[in-house]
Amino acid sequence: MSTVIEDVRARKIFNSRGEATIEVEITTIDGFGAASAPSGASKGKAEAIAYPPGGVEEAVRKVEELIAPELIGLNADEQEDIDNILHELDGTKNFMKIGGNTAYAVSLAAADAAANSYGMPLFQYLGGYLACNMPYPLGNVLGGGKHALGKVPDMQEFLVLPIGAPNFIAAAEANIRIHRRVKDLLIRVDPYFTGGRGDEGAWAPNISNEGALEVVSKACEEVSNEIGFKCRVGLDVASSSLWDLNRQRYVYANEGVERDSGEQLEYILGLIKKYNLIYVEDPFHEDDFESFSELTSKVKGCLICGDDLFVTNEERLNAGVSEGAGNAIIIKMNQVGTLTDTWKTTRLAKESGYVPVVSHRSGETTSFHIAHLAVGFGCPIIKTGVAGGERIAKINELVYIEEILGDRARMARIKI
């Protein structure tokens, strides 16, 4: 089979928020691959720059005029060489010239084309025969923050993790049932609830943070009892969105509450204990390694996960590891641009005892590749929503992967 690249094309398409994004197609002698880039609403300041000056149109032009001539004639399976070329063509640390989303689409399309050339599913191409562990789906069932409008919870995501599921499809069904149950409970709590949703398909009610936790916890408990395995609650606080640098306070605007760093620590600790949380993402702002470390040292049985803190960046993760900041990391490929960089960070996380959580973004396309990244890279959790076509695309792809694996499929082990 030949993976020699014959053609590279790019186009502007649209994501789940109706925003423009880039899609790249790569054709080899014996295969074809395509990938499109997602976009986040809350972004870490150390992330790769999404697009060059000029936006998506300029990114498309750069693929066709700058990147394609360098890739045509290369082998698509020479992933590290392709990713190095992207870095060299850009020449900056954070993809300011070609854009991190441009690099993402090209890099992932190359891997997709190589896998297709060999007649292999992408997860197997990335992880080999041993890639047979299915991730647990971490589902956003109720939310606020930057993912919704109006008087919604200040915290960004109220999540569920079906940790006791015997297989992936049972886990996905559990999340869907909890999502529906949350709606039923919200109608009881607020008869004026209209069924509004945020960017990721999570319910977006007029409710306090603790009110939301009460609803999600009750839904989790009820559904767990019905299906016979345990589902637990998690949070994405998205604290960088709450942090006021000038006042040195976390500002919970809808609740009319402000907390300094010490008060934030005690508040999060209290929520973990009261609601038996299994997962807390970004409980502090993106530069507060010290508070992440202190919280991690004080809790047991709960993943303290860095997103804005680490932005899938190997250097920032190294800094976190040295300080004991967190025990889990969000893996979003477009935060660093290339598959090679994403794998390096994921490998460091696993070697350092951190749980890697492959994640979607709030502005998604129907591209399903992160499902393959989760299985191929051996990540035990995938954060990919519950409802909405762009979220279901990833869920259904994991259903297909579990079917492909057959008797070899196993649910991953999560060390907390």
**Where do we find the tokens 């394609």?**
68
* Phi (first) and psi of residue 215, to 5 degrees: -65, -50
What's the whole-number mean pLDDT along residues 55-73?
98
In the prediction, which pLDDT does 42 show? 65
Q: What is the mean pLDDT of residues 245-262?
A: 95
pLDDT of amino acid 147: 63
Asked whether the predicted pLDDT for residue 41 surpasses 90, the reply is no
Q: Output the pLDDT for position 145.
A: 79
Global pTM value? 0.96
CA atoms of 41 and 45, how far apart (whole Å): 12
Q: Which tokens belong to 293? A: 């470390």
Looking at the predicted structure, is the pLDDT value of residue 146 above 80? no
Residue 150 pLDDT exceeds 80 = no
Structure tokens at 330: 């969000």
Q: What is the average per-residue pLDDT within 234-240?
A: 97
pLDDT at 243: 97
Q: Which residues are catalytic?
A: 200, 332
User: CB–CB of 354/328 below 8 Å?
Assistant: yes
| Residue with more model confidence, 191 or 212 | 212
203 has a pLDDT exceeding 90: yes
State residue 388's pLDDT score. 92
| Long-range pairs for 51-57: beta carbons < 8 A, 24 or more residues apart | 51/22, 51/99, 51/101, 51/102, 52/96, 52/97, 52/98, 52/99, 52/102, 55/20, 56/12, 56/20, 56/21, 56/22, 57/12
Please give the domain boundaries of the chain with CATH numbers for all domains: 5-120 (3.30.390.10), 127-411 (3.20.20.120)
- CB-based contact 408:374 (threshold 8 Å): no
Q: What digits encode the pLDDT tens for the residues 78-120?
A: 999 999 999 999 999 999 999 999 999 999 999 999 999 999 9
148 confidence band (pLDDT: 50, 70, 90): low
